[in-house]
Amino acid sequence: MNIAFSVPLPFRKVKSLVVSNNLVLVSDSDQMVAITAEGQMLWHLRFEHPIGKMVVAPSGDIVGICDGGKQLTVRSPNTGELKLSIPVNSFVYAIPAVTKSHLIYHGWDNQLNVFYQTGELCWSAPTDKKAIWIQPVVVEDWVFTSTQGVMAYAVDDGSKRGSWDELSPSEEILTMRRADAKRIVVGYGINQLFMLNKEHCTVCPWILPSGYRIFMDSLTVFESPDSELTLIATAGVDGKKAVVSVTESGEMLWEYPISKTPVAISVGTAGQVYIAQSPTLDEWDKYKDFCEFSCFLLELSATGEELWKWEAPAPITSLLAVADDAIYVVCDGNLMSLGRS
């Protein structure tokens, strides 16, 4: 593992890190930068009010929430130029969802709002009267929304496609994400993880290993070559922590012991797993002169074998952006590109 480049950023804390069209886009609460795959700063924007996390549209445009949650914006990845700004009638904190034709977001007015890419409102639908913090999930031509229950609407016209009473817990849903072309996963509480099948409108529990507590807010799901879903997540077991891999049939494929909850977990296209572990910036600033901290990024094979481990020079303060030939990560205000060769 070699460092292709290290670029100082104008901020230490990171809210978003995404890759689009050979550009690395990084933001904090009020700044956004674009850096080329060669490590050159392309543009830098400052905002008067807080901005939300970014998401990249199929076109490559940058979609996000600006002006303290009052504007839905679309920007050019090459220049940062504002291409579209949509005032919203309530604060927005959840990440928007995007398709080739639509921009979708949850507002604090208890509405799911769907706009055309041109900025006109397509339709709105009520949610279940609670502020939503998780991103809407799009599977084919349906969009799923949830706070305590799960509902689905047709993206094009807002017609209701389903409501799943089985997934209406007293606890707030912590994760909802696309699993494959037909299914989403929904998780809440302690080990309450379910698969919802759009095609058959069915719900079934994900069988989880006995004795393990899965952390619902940090899991990821990917589809293996044989079309079976595999869960990668942090879990607590016997007073310790591990990253675990569990099939949808409940088979534990492997577990990798860790000392603390990872900063980030990401899965590559071949099923390899990347784990970043680090102290927080506050811990680092207060105790680095007195304590030895472990800051590292490692790769596991699809079978859980450690392939390499990179010792980071400072705290890792971002999620991971995994591209075809590089892995991008921020270490205490520096964007680092790690080459795979």
Would you list the DSSP string of 163-219?
EEGGG--SSPEEEEEE-SSSEEEEEETTTEEEEEETTTTEEEEPP--TT-EE-GGG-
**pLDDT in the model for residue 222:** 87
Residues 332 and 260: their CA atoms lie apart, in Å, by: 19
Task: Collect all residues with Cβ–Cβ distance below 8 Å to 183 and sequence separation of at least 6.
Answer: 139, 195, 196, 197, 198, 229
How confident is the model over 166-181, as a mean pLDDT? 78
Sheet bearing 296-300, strands edge to edge: 264-267, 273-277, 296-300, 306-311
Q: Residue 252 half-sphere exposure, CB side, CA atoms within 13 Å?
A: 13
pLDDT at 341 over 60: no
Average pLDDT, the chain: 89
Q: Which pLDDT band holds residue 36 (cuts at 50, 70, 90)?
A: very high
pLDDT at 170 over 70: no
Q: pLDDT per residue over 206-234, tens digit each?
A: 988 888 999 987 789 988 767 789 999 99
Asked if residues 158 and 121 have their Cβ atoms less than 8 Å apart, the reply is no
Cα-Cα end-to-end distance for the chain: 6
pLDDT at 103 over 80: yes
**pLDDT in the model for residue 172:** 74
Q: pLDDT per residue over 131-145, tens digit each?
A: 677 889 999 999 998
Q: Which pLDDT band holds residue 148 (cuts at 50, 70, 90)?
A: low
Burial, 161: exposed, middle or buried (Cβ in 10 Å; 0-12, 13-18, 19+)? middle
Q: Which pLDDT band holds residue 202 (cuts at 50, 70, 90)?
A: confident
| Amino acid (one-letter) located at 226 | D
pLDDT at 111 over 80: yes
By residue count, the chain amounts to 341
pLDDT at 6 over 90: yes
The pTM score is 0.91
Between 168 and 90, residue with greater pLDDT: 90
Pick the range with the lowest mean pLDDT from 83-87, 135-139, 185-189, 239-243.
185-189
Residues 147 and 90: their CA atoms lie apart, in Å, by: 17
Asked if residues 327 and 316 have their Cβ atoms less than 8 Å apart, the reply is no
How confident is the model over 85-112, as a mean pLDDT? 86
How confident is the model over 303-323, as a mean pLDDT? 93
**pLDDT in the model for residue 340:** 62
pLDDT at 118 over 80: yes
Q: Which pLDDT band holds residue 320 (cuts at 50, 70, 90)?
A: very high
**pLDDT in the model for residue 130:** 65
DSSP state of 316: B
Cα 228 to its chain centre, rounded Å, is: 21
Compute CA distances 263 → 33, 126, 158, 319, whole Å: 22, 34, 37, 7
**pLDDT in the model for residue 169:** 61
Pick the range with the lowest mean pLDDT from 136-140, 322-326, 334-338.
322-326
Task: Collect all residues with Cβ–Cβ distance below 8 Å to 244 and sequence separation of at least 6.
Answer: 209, 212, 214, 231, 232, 233, 234, 235, 252, 254, 255, 256
**pLDDT in the model for residue 88:** 84
